[in-house]
């Protein structure tokens, strides 16, 4: 797969050609993370946040078997209404393309496609990680290994404590993925600013993040990194409120025998119900917060040509 196998929107195509700041956005959150019409509204808000900061949003999805980078408003709305869209991680892509299907892309698949398009920055809410009980189930999200493979900096609010956060950080360390805190020394736990776990390093500005990304490239690193942006304190949901609801959602998943790629969407949907929508409100806010930071980092990086791993992947990767 090379960049010319991608379907770039005219806006994204022009921005990439001009070296303008572009922020990649995922779409599993649209197809499997939220229900219509909240998913469509959130996706539009996130794109608006990127534009307001002066960058171009590139929402990534698989539509009728084509890898799209940048969606028109009608395409975004149709995806949000599509209740039969698949969930695409790396391993699903060839099957979905060969069958002409439509899918939301996970963090893993979005990173892979963003890298091939030459987009080095990507904003999401939370990443997948090591599930609780993974020592028995082996349920470790493909997002983690993709972070070691695709040269994209992912801005997120950490990971939800539906996951085992210490094990998630261990696996990221094993895979050689830098984990940075934006204006924090702690790994954020999505709904809360702190998890009690430390990040590898702290970045206090978008320029510091851009400098780190440049150093990563200069060293010839071929993988990505995680930039963790805690949600604003006013938007936090207290851990005491989330804890029992997370336990309830996990118990339901176990009782129903939910497994494989259905686990994360099941837990996310149950949490929205169990918190009476409170988790959804926090989710919307933190994604916008991440989109803004990603746009600021993209701007700090833009104007550069893209040598190193990004340019190489976009221009000369064989099909």
Binding site for ligand PSU (CB under 6 A): 26, 28-29, 33, 89, 106-107, 125-128, 141-143, 160, 190, 261, 264, 268
92 binds Mn ion (CB under 5 A): no
Count of alpha carbons within 13 Å of 256, Cβ hemisphere only?
Answer: 14
Longest Cα–Cα distance in the chain: 53
Handedness of CA 288, 60, 33, 230 (dihedral sign): negative
175 Rama class: left (phi>0) / alpha (psi -120 to 50) / beta? alpha
Binding-site partner at residue 171 among Mn ion, ligand PSU, none, CB < 5 to 8 Å by type: none
Q: How far is the CB of 139 from Mn ion (least distance, A)?
A: 4
| Residue 160 is among the residues annotated as catalytic for this protein | yes
Q: How far is the CB of 83 from ligand PSU (least distance, A)?
A: 16
Residue 53: CB atoms within 10 A of its CB come to 20
Stretch that binds Mn ion, among 73-81, 133-141, 212-220, 268-276 (CB under 5 A): 133-141
Distance, in Å, from the CA atom of 4 to the CA atom of 201, rounded to the nearest integer, reads 37
Q: CA separation (Å) from 139 to 101, 165, 243?
A: 26, 13, 21
CB nearer to Mn ion: pick between 47 and 139: 139
CB nearer to ligand PSU: pick between 203 and 287: 287
CB nearer to ligand PSU: pick between 106 and 290: 106
Q: How far is the CB of 265 from ligand PSU (least distance, A)?
A: 7
Q: How far is the CB of 218 from ligand PSU (least distance, A)?
A: 28
Q: Can you tell me which residue has the tokens 């307001």?
A: 52
Q: How far is the CB of 226 from ligand PSU (least distance, A)?
A: 12
One of 87, 160, 261, 285 is an active-site residue; which one?
Answer: 160
Asked if omega into 37 is within 30° of 0 (cis), the reply is yes
Query: Is residue 143 exposed (0-12), middle (13-18) or buried (19+ Cβ within 10 Å)?
Result: buried
CB nearer to ligand PSU: pick between 27 and 184: 27
Distance, in Å, from the CA atom of 288 to the CA atom of 282, rounded to the nearest integer, reads 10
Task: Collect all residues with Cβ–Cβ distance below 8 Å to 91 and sequence separation of at least 6.
Answer: 142
How far is C-alpha 187 from the geometric centre of its chain's CA atoms? 16
Among residues 139, 143, 146, 186, the one that binds Mn ion under rule CB under 5 A: 139
Contacts of Mn ion in 233-262 (CB under 5 A): none
Residues that contact Mn ion, how many (by CB under 5 A): 1
Residue nearest to Mn ion (CB): 139
CB nearer to ligand PSU: pick between 177 and 300: 177
Distance, in Å, from the CA atom of 204 to the CA atom of 47, rounded to the nearest integer, reads 24
Enumerate the active-site residues.
26, 160
List of residues contacting Mn ion (CB under 5 A)? 139
């Amino acid at each position: 797969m090379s960049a010319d196998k991608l379907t770039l929107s005219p806006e994204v195509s022009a921005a990439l050609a001009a070296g303008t700041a572009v922020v990649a956005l995922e779409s599993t959150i649209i197809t499997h993370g939220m229900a219509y019409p909240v998913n469509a509204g959130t996706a539009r808000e996130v794109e608006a946040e990127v534009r307001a900061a002066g960058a171009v949003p590139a929402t990534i999805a698989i539509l009728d078997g084509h890898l799209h980078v940048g969606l028109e408003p009608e395409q975004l709305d149709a995806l949000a209404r599509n209740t039969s869209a698949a969930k695409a991680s790396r391993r699903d892509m060839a099957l979905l393309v060969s069958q002409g299907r439509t899918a939301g892309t996970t963090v893993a698949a979005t990173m892979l496609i963003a890298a091939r398009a030459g987009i080095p920055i990507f904003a999401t809410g939370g990443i997948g990680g090591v599930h609780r009980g993974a020592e028995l189930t082996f349920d470790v999200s493909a997002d983690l290994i993709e972070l070691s493979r695709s040269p994209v900096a992912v801005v997120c609010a950490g990971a939800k404590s539906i996951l085992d956060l210490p094990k998630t950080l261990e696996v990221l360390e094993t895979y050689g993925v830098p984990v940075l805190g934006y204006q924090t020394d702690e790994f954020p736990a999505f709904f809360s600013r702190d998890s009690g776990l430390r990040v590898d390093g702290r970045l206090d500005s978008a320029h510091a993040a851009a400098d780190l990304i440049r150093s990563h490239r200069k060293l010839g690193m071929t993988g990505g990194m995680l930039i963790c942006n805690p949600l604003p304190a006013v938007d936090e949901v207290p851990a005491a409120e989330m804890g029992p609801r997370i336990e309830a959602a996990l118990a339901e998943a176990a009782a129903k025998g939910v497994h494989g790629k259905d686990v994360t969407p099941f837990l996310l949907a149950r949490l929205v119900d169990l918190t009476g929508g409170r988790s959804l409100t926090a989710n919307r806010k933190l994604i916008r917060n991440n989109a803004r930071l990603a746009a600021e980092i993209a701007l700090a990086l833009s104007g550069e040509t893209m040598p190193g791993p990004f340019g190489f992947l976009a221009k000369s990767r064989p099909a």
